[in-house]
């Protein structure tokens, strides 16, 4: 039993420390009224959510403004960022130079001449290093060497796969040559982003085909031909051989309908495969 003080006739609600209780009582003026307590648990639906209080990153994260500026500068000179020998180093140097510029402005306003001169010396040295890195593009003769290597390994693999006089394991190595040597050689020459995506996709598809197709195809020559066809298909899908004028028109159209348009996905090889893709991961 629980007693409540006398007051005017009313209805009131109290809360229990261990839960939510609803009590209603008629109070008679001038007397103490004993009211039996009835514990009533308010049943409210529980809403479970997977959302967190911290903001989540979007799948299509915002591009780095420094990297975007470097890309735009290089594209004006007809070079893509990926074609540089050390693209990540160029972006990092640009970022450090921007920090140094801010620091130099602060030192100039504060009048700290000694510190400013020291930082200005480092700034000039880093700026010269950046200019050298921007000019460090793979030479054409080296690109041609990698292309020739890719063609020769593909041709060698075809000969091994079609020559029935060779042992079976040598014939099997023939249709694996495209994945082991041809694709890495083509990627090693710092291709354009479209060709790199095509080679990335082909590099992921090739081993799956080599493991699955032998269940249906017993001819090693046909398996090698399937590898060549899937490589050509990836090139066609990403428009590697599309004329430059058509590429520019498509790029403009994609930029205009960036929100709702469909784009070719940029595919990056899993980290575990970098050790196999020996030709291009530095």
Q: What does the H/E/C string look like for 237-256?
A: HCCCCCCHHHHHHHHHHHHH
pTM: 0.56
Top-confidence residue, 268 or 262: 268
pLDDT at 20: 41
Residue linked to tokens 């530095």: 282
Q: Read off the pLDDT of residues 42-101 as tens digits, 9 standing for 90 and up.
A: 444 443 333 333 333 333 345 688 888 888 888 888 888 877 888 888 899 999 998 988
pLDDT at 52: 34
Where do the DSSP E strands lie in 9-116? 33-35
Beta bridge partners of 16: 19
Residue pair 242/148 in contact (Cβ under 8 Å)? The answer is no
Residue pair 185/153 in contact (Cβ under 8 Å)? The answer is yes
Q: Read off the pLDDT of residues 223-245 as tens digits, 9 standing for 90 and up.
A: 999 999 999 999 999 888 877 65
152 pLDDT higher than 50: yes
Q: Is 3 helix (H, G, I), strand (E, B) or coil?
A: strand
């Amino acid at each position: 039993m629980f007693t409540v003080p006398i007051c005017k006739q009313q209805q009131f609600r109290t809360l229990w420390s261990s839960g939510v209780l609803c009590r209603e009582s008629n109070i008679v003026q001038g007397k103490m009224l004993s009211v039996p307590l009835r514990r009533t648990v308010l049943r409210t639906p529980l809403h479970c959510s997977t959302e967190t209080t911290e903001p989540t990153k979007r799948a299509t994260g915002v591009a780095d403004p420094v990297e975007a500026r470097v890309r735009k500068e290089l594209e004006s000179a007809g070079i893509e960022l990926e074609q540089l020998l050390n693209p990540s180093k160029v972006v990092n140097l640009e970022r450090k130079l921007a920090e140094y510029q801010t620091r130099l402005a602060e030192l100039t306003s504060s009048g700290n001449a000694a510190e400013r001169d020291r930082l200005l010396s480092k700034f000039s040295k880093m700026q010269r290093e950046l200019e050298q890195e921007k000019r460090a593009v793979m030479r054409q003769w080296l690109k041609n060497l990698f292309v020739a290597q890719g063609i020769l390994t593909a041709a060698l693999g075809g000969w091994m796969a079609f020559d029935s006089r060779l042992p079976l394991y040598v014939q099997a190595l023939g249709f694996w040559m495209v994945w082991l040597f041809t694709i890495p050689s083509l990627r090693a020459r710092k291709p354009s982003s479209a060709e790199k995506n095509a080679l990335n996709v082909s590099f992921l598809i090739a081993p799956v085909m080599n493991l699955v197709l032998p269940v249906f195809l017993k001819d090693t020559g046909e398996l090698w031909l399937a590898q060549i066809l899937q490589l050509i298909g990836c090139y066609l899908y990403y428009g590697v051989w599309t004329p430059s004028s058509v590429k520019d028109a498509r790029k403009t159209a994609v930029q205009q309908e960036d929100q709702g348009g469909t784009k070719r996905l940029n595919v990056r090889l899993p980290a575990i495969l970098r050790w196999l893709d020996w030709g291009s991961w530095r």
